[in-house]
């Protein structure tokens, strides 16, 4: 996983695909530090790590070259040398929070990264090597990919000295990109009939957001780990809240607005070439679409180029690189004629190549829908395709689990980017052919892995297409949706409104008895969050903007629209629901931008094909594994299966029957272990090191499969992932908490990771039992060891599980803390008739805390039962008044009791009282009736004595 994150971090930083030539003999390189001031009011001093690339001849125009998220200035060194060789002064730098630069990541906030970049323009204005357009006004362009692309747009909006900009594969609205809602698409005319719908009340793109946060959380070498990494605290807090709720927090939304070109694109006057990838599930084509429209509406010069790649599919092709170079050369160097503002996009060519896939470039006169201020938009031409399909009921499972599979962030890029598609007539109708979304090849293969789970998606299809059809943009479909069926007791699916995931598949008919194949176009998904549906079951009509893609669909193929209730890459509502979905208009509106096709351009496959093939195989294995897991689960629920319930044990917390565990090397860790734990018991599991206690606990938690016997929790056999494990709370490996968060925040974050609503955590009750008091609102770094143990116990108690399993809960505690922990465990078992299983080596504590005990030795149970019974061993120690010991021995002996004087204490008589309380009470009654004062009664030995007698002193 670490390697994958590193590779994706590099991919996020790719600005262009041109090969880095050897350094020109005249190019000079200088590493330097540039001091800036940022933050509100520019009061915070920072130091940026930068490199200056000087061409052979100066003065010359300058280019600010920004890197992608997770990278630093080194990631753009090759492109910097290429630009310097073309005659530009290039300044590359590591953004604040990355590489060797100081500061924290602020996501291109105007007060931080944008302010830093503007001061870099100031710095360039003072360099004699840079051409000036006026005092303090250097001739400068700005360019970058992904994170750096957004910086390029933001700087052009805030600093009018920027003369040209080329942003690649970047965002327009970061909030909409991470919390998308495609009930209405950016740049579209009003298309949603869902009254009250909030386009920003989106669906959390959890997989991509988590990847971003994971990359940004990496600390520089040697620094202590921190959950927020190098992010500003407000970004970290917003992310954590989004993970908890699945919604965009208001404060985070406002922050992302300021970090988005959407807020300022209308004032960009620098000529802008927007380059966007057709294989991009992070920042889709809709993002550049919205930016282009805003710049044009503000009167700026803008051109758009789509290429067969992106965050999910590799780098720009040679023709796009040439267009980038021509754009910079004209507006900065002043050479060449004015670049055309034509619109170009890439199509699979169908020409096979052994060395690299090929493609066609389609050139249209202009990007559709762009208008100057006051003009009426001219939307892209569309093809209306008839759709068929009946009304369908679909299930939204609780928490969206299990979820449909659409794409894995960045995997297509690692698999070599786009590929050739079999869209020529020579392959027409061949099984597995077709556009494959954004270019076939690896992308198409990954698109074929996409799957919707049975019962969780409504699907509608076109008839077989009469001719080859090109899709270039966002298809649209109008559907109706209503609540239907029943849901789990206590839930109300209408409160939050439905969440759906719209997709378009290319369906290839099977031949010669082979099944048809479905390829998800662009590996892309359009999330849709609707307002609450009418509770009376009446339908609401909504026009869904499906993902923007570029694809070629061959004649004879069908297009399939899928509206799924789940997707593993997004957060889904916690409550289950059933919806009925039908077509409101039986047409699929497909955009088709006409243009002139030119061909022969190769698509860079990248150096990671081998890795991509390996990861592709892993992805296939995951999908196949899910299928087999679903089948196995159905078998397990059948009588005799792993998940079948034993009706006689449904009220018994734990039954262990003949459990054994033998490892592959022949080592026998556990053999024939059997015991039973009833409700309300506090049971201690004892044994020396190597007795098999930990192995038994791991089997109980479903972490190991026994090689013999079974464990049943409330009548259900314990297997890895068994749902019944949700009734079990555990604290086994020692506490691990985020030190800068409070105890309460740690518990809430842990519970959020379970996917269950916070209302089910019963947090206040768990905290009351654990006795943390007001300390729960202090940061954990201030806790003592005892408080950390209490917090760990509270974490295990969340949800108040029926069975609590604790391993060494008093480790590291002092005597008062041990006493307090003892009371916590007794109180937990006593309230609600719950059960506690404690593994410990502190025999005195087990004796005072537990009422039952199981003693293990060399993998076997050597004793079990009540603690008092095990300690007594049938013998009673009776303390009598001074001088009465010998008479007490005679009285008991005359009454038929086996009695003797205790050799170690002069006032104690040892009596073999027999089993049970009745025998002990009878022995005491005989002494009292004989007039012998009884001072005290107790077992003759301690648990330690019994324990050593059972396992032997040598052990």
Q: What is the pLDDT of residue 450?
A: 78
* pLDDT for res 329: 94
pLDDT number for residue 143: 97
Query: How far apart are alpha carbons 540 and 194 in whole angstroms?
Result: 7
Specify the pLDDT at position 121: 97
Average pLDDT rounded to a whole number, residues 97-125: 95
- The residue-averaged pLDDT of 324-330 equals 94
Assign 21 a pLDDT band (cuts: 50, 70, 90).
Answer: very low
* 747 compared with 441, residue with greater pLDDT: 747
pLDDT for 191: 30
User: Residue 887: its pLDDT value, please?
Assistant: 87
- pLDDT of res. 444: 53
**Strands, E, within 262-374: which ranges?**
272-277, 302-307, 343-348, 358-364
| Residue 387 binned pLDDT confidence (cut-offs 50, 70, 90) | very high
DSSP string, 572-629: --SS-EEEEEEEEEEEEEEE----EEEEEEEPP--TTHHHHHHHHHHHHHHHHHHHHH
Q: How many helices (H) and strands (E) does the chain have?
A: 24, 39
Burial state string for 208-246 with b = 16 or more CB within 10 A and e = fewer than 16: bbbbbbbbbbbeeeeeeeeebbbbbeebbbbbbbbbbeb
The mean pLDDT of 293-309, rounded to a whole number, is: 92
Mean pLDDT value across residues 919-927? 77
Structure tokens of 212?
A: 């971003």
- Take residue 788 and report the two structure tokens written for it: 């950390």
User: Which of these, 708, 590, 596, lies nearest to 656 by C-alpha position?
Assistant: 708
- 120 pLDDT higher than 70: yes
Lowest mean pLDDT of 70-74, 568-572, 727-731, name the range: 727-731
CATH number of 382-608: 2.60.120
- Rounded to a whole number, what is the largest CA-CA distance in the chain? 124
Query: Between 417 and 53, where is the model more confident?
Result: 53
pLDDT range class, residue 727, cuts 50, 70, 90:
confident
Would you say residue 163 has pLDDT above 90?
A: yes
Judged by average pLDDT, the poorest of 293-302, 395-404, 863-872 is: 863-872
Single out the residue of 890, 874, 875 nearest to residue 932, CA to CA.
Answer: 890
Residues 679, 725 contacting (CB under 8 angstroms):
no
pLDDT band for 940, please (50, 70, 90 cuts). Answer: low
Q: Return the CA Rg of the chain.
A: 35
Q: Is the pLDDT of residue 398 over 90?
A: no
Decide which of 786 and 590 is more confident. Answer: 590
Q: Which of 278-282, 310-314, 559-563, 837-841 has the highest mean pLDDT?
A: 559-563
CA distance 201 to 245: 12
- Lowest-confidence segment of 108-122, 198-212, 907-921 by average pLDDT: 907-921
pLDDT band at 251 (very low <50, low <70, confident <90, very high): very high
**CA distance linking residue 153 with residue 171, whole number of Å:** 10
In the prediction, which pLDDT does 439 show?
A: 44
Lowest-confidence region among 27-41, 121-135, 659-673: 659-673
The CA distance from 868 to 87, in Å, is 90
Q: Going by CATH, does the domain composed of 874-939 fall within 3.30.70.100? A: yes
pLDDT of residue 428: 33
Is residue 793 within 8 A of residue 806, CB to CB? The reply is yes
Residue 14 banded pLDDT, cuts 50, 70, 90: very low
Predicted pLDDT at 915: 42
Distances from the Cα of 866 to the Cα of 407, 653, 682, 683, 869, angstroms: 56, 17, 10, 9, 5
What's the pLDDT tens digit per position in 332-350? Answer: 999 888 888 889 888 864 4
Integer Cα distance of 262 and 287 in angstroms: 9
pLDDT of residue 317: 83
Q: What percent of the chain has pLDDT over 90?
A: 33
Does 647-868 match 2-173+261-335 at the fold level? yes
Lowest mean pLDDT among 168-172, 570-574, 600-604, 707-711: 600-604
Tell me what the pLDDT averaged over the chain comes to. Answer: 79
Please state, in angstroms and rounded to a whole number, the distance separating the CA atoms of residues 277 and 317: 11
Please tell me which residue, 699 or 374, carries the higher pLDDT value. Answer: 699
CB 775 within 8 A of CB 743: yes
User: Beta-strand (E) ranges in 156-264?
Assistant: 162-168
Nearest to 913 by CA among 949, 868, 950, 951: 868
Going by pLDDT thresholds of 50, 70 and 90, the confidence category of residue 189 is: very low
User: Given 3.40.190.10, 3.40.50.1820, 3.30.565.10, 3.20.20.100, which CATH number is that of 2-173+261-335?
Assistant: 3.40.50.1820
User: Residue 23: pLDDT band by 50, 70, 90 thresholds?
Assistant: very low
pLDDT digits (tens, 9 = 90+) for 784-798: 877 888 888 888 888
**Confidence check: pLDDT of 32 > 80:** yes
Beta bridge partners of 551: 471
Report the C-alpha gap between 656 and 696 in whole angstroms.
Answer: 9
Contact call for residues 288 and 274 (beta carbons, < 8 A):
yes
In this predicted structure, which of 15-19, 201-205, 245-249, 390-394 has the lowest mean pLDDT?
15-19
Q: How far does Cα 700 stand from its chain's mean position?
A: 27
pLDDT for 496-544, tens place per residue?
678 999 999 999 888 777 788 888 998 889 999 888 888 888 888 989 9
Name the pairing type of β-strands 549-553 and 517-520. Answer: unpaired
Sort 559 into a burial class: Cβ within 10 Å, 0-12 / 13-18 / 19+. Answer: buried
CB atoms within 10 A of CB 647: 8
Q: Does domain 647-868 have CATH number 3.40.50.300?
A: yes
Least confident of 215-229, 729-743, 796-810: 215-229
Residues 517 and 514: their CA atoms lie apart, in Å, by 9
Which one has a higher pLDDT value, 302 or 593?
302
Report the DSSP beta bridge partners of residue 383: 590
Residue 606 confidence (pLDDT):
44
Task: Give the residue from 302, 361, 557, 593 showing the smallest Cα distance to 474.
Answer: 593
At 950, is the pLDDT very low, low, confident or very high (cuts 50, 70, 90)? low
- pLDDT value at 84 more than 60: yes
What is the structure's pLDDT at 183?
A: 63
Distance in angstroms (rounded) separating the CA atoms of residues 392 and 539:
13
Whether 489 has a pLDDT exceeding 60, the answer reads no
Q: Percent of the chain at pLDDT above 70?
A: 77
Task: Average the pLDDT over each of 306-320, 351-365, 613-627 and give the range with the smallest value.
Answer: 613-627
Q: Where are the domains of the chain?
A: 2-173+261-335, 382-608, 647-868, 874-939
């Amino acid at each position: 996983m670490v390697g994958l994150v590193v590779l994706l971090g590099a991919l996020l930083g790719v600005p262009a695909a041109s090969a880095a030539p050897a350094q020109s003999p005249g190019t000079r390189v200088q590493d330097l530090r540039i001091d800036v001031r940022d933050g509100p009011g520019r009061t915070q001093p920072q130091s940026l790590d930068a490199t200056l690339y000087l061409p052979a001849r100066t003065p010359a125009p300058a280019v600010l070259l920004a890197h992608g998220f997770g990278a630093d200035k080194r990631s753009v060194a090759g492109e910097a040398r290429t630009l310097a060789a073309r005659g530009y002064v290039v300044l590359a730098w590591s953004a604040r929070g990355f590489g060797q630069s100081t500061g924290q990541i602020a996501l291109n906030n105007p007060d931080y990264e944008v302010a830093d970049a503007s001061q870099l323009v100031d710095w360039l204005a003072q360099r004699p090597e840079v051409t000036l357009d006026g005092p303090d006004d250097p001739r400068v362009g700005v360019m970058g990919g992904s994170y750096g692309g957004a910086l390029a747009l933001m700087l052009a909006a805030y600093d009018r000295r920027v003369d040209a900009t080329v942003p690649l594969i970047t965002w327009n609205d970061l909030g909409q990109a991470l919390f998308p809602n495609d009930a209405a698409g950016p740049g579209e005319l009003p298309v949603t009939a869902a009254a009250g719908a909030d386009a920003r009340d989106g669906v959390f793109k959890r997989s991509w957001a988590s990847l971003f946060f994971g990359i940004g959380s990496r600390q520089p070498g040697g620094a202590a780990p921190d959950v927020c990494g190098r992010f500003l605290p407000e970004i970290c807090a917003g992310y954590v809240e989004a993970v908890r709720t699945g919604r965009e927090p208001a404060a985070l939304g406002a922050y992302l607005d300021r970090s988005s070109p959407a807020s300022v694109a209308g004032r960009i006057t620098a000529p802008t070439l927007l380059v966007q990838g057709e294989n991009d599930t992070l920042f889709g084509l809709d993002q550049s679409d919205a930016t282009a429209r805003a710049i044009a509406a503000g009167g700026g010069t803008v051109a758009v180029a789509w290429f067969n790649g992106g965050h999910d599919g590799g780098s720009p092709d040679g023709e796009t690189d040439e267009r980038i170079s021509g754009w910079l050369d004209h507006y900065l160097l002043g050479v060449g004629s004015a670049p055309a503002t034509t619109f170009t996009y890439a199509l699979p060519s169908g020409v096979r190549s052994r060395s690299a896939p090929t493609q066609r470039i389609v050139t249209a006169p202009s990007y559709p829908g762009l208008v100057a201020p006051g003009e009426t938009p001219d939307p892209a031409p569309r093809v209306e395709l008839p759709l068929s399909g009946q009304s369908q009921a679909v299930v939204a499972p609780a928490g969206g689990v299990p979820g449909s599979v659409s794409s894995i962030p960045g995997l297509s890029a690692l698999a070599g980017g786009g590929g050739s598609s079999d869209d020529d007539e020579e392959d027409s109708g061949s099984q597995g052919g077709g556009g494959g979304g954004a270019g076939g090849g690896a992308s198409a293969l990954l698109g074929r892995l996409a799957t919707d789970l049975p019962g969780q998606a409504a699907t509608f299809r076109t008839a077989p297409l009469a001719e080859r059809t090109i899709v270039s943009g966002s298809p649209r479909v109008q559907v109706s949706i209503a609540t239907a069926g029943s849901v789990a007791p206590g839930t109300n699916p209408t409160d939050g409104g439905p969440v759906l995931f719209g997709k378009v598949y290319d369906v290839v008919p099977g031949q010669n008895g082979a099944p048809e194949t479905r390829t998800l176009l662009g590996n892309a998904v359009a999330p849709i969050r609707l307002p609450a549906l009418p509770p009376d079951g009446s339908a609401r009509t909504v026009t869904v903007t499906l993902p923007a893609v570029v694809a070629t669909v061959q004649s004879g193929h069908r297009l399939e629209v899928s509206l799924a209730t789940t997707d593993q890459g997004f957060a889904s509502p916690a409550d289950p629901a059933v919806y009925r979905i039908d077509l409101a208009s039986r047409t699929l509106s497909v955009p088709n931008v006409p243009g002139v096709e030119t061909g022969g351009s190769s698509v860079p496959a990248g150096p990671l094909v081998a890795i991509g093939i390996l990861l592709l195989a892993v992805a296939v294995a995951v999908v196949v594994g899910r299928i087999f897991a679903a089948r196995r689960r159905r078998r397990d629920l059948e009588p005799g299966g792993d998940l079948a319930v034993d009706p006689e044990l449904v009220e018994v917390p734990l039954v262990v029957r003949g459990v054994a565990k033998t490892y592959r090397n022949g080592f026998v860790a556990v053999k024939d272990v059997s015991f039973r734990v009833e409700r309300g018991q506090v049971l201690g599991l004892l044994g020396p090191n190597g007795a098999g206690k930990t192995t038994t606990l791991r089997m109980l938690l479903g972490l190991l499969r026994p090689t013999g016997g079974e464990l049943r929790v409330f009548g259900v056999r314990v297997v890895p992932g068994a749902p019944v494990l949700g009734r079990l709370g555990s604290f086994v490996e020692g506490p691990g908490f985020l030190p800068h968060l409070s105890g309460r925040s740690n518990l809430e974050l842990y519970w959020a990771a379970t996917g269950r609503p916070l209302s089910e955590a019963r947090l206040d009750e768990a905290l009351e039992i654990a006795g943390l008091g007001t300390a729960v609102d202090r940061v954990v770094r201030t806790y003592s060891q005892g408080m950390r143990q209490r917090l760990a116990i509270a974490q295990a108690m969340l949800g108040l599980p029926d069975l609590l399993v604790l391993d060494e809960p008093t480790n590291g505690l002092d005597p008062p803390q041990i006493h307090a922990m003892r009371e916590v465990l007794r109180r937990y078992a006593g309230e609600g008739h719950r059960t506690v299983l404690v593994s410990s080596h502190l025999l005195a504590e087990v004796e005072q805390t537990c009422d039952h005990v199981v003693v293990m030795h060399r993998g076997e149970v050597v004793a079990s039962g009540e603690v008092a019974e095990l300690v007594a061993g049938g013998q009673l120690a009776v303390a009598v008044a001074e001088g009465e010991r010998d008479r007490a021995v005679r009285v008991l002996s005359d009454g038929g009791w086996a009695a003797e004087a205790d050799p170690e204490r002069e006032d104690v008589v040892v009596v073999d009282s027999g089993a049970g309380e009745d025998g002990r009470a009878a022995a005491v009654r005989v002494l009292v009736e004989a007039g012998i004062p009884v001072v005290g009664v107790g077992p003759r030995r301690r648990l330690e004595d019994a324990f050593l007698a059972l396992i032997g002193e040598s052990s």
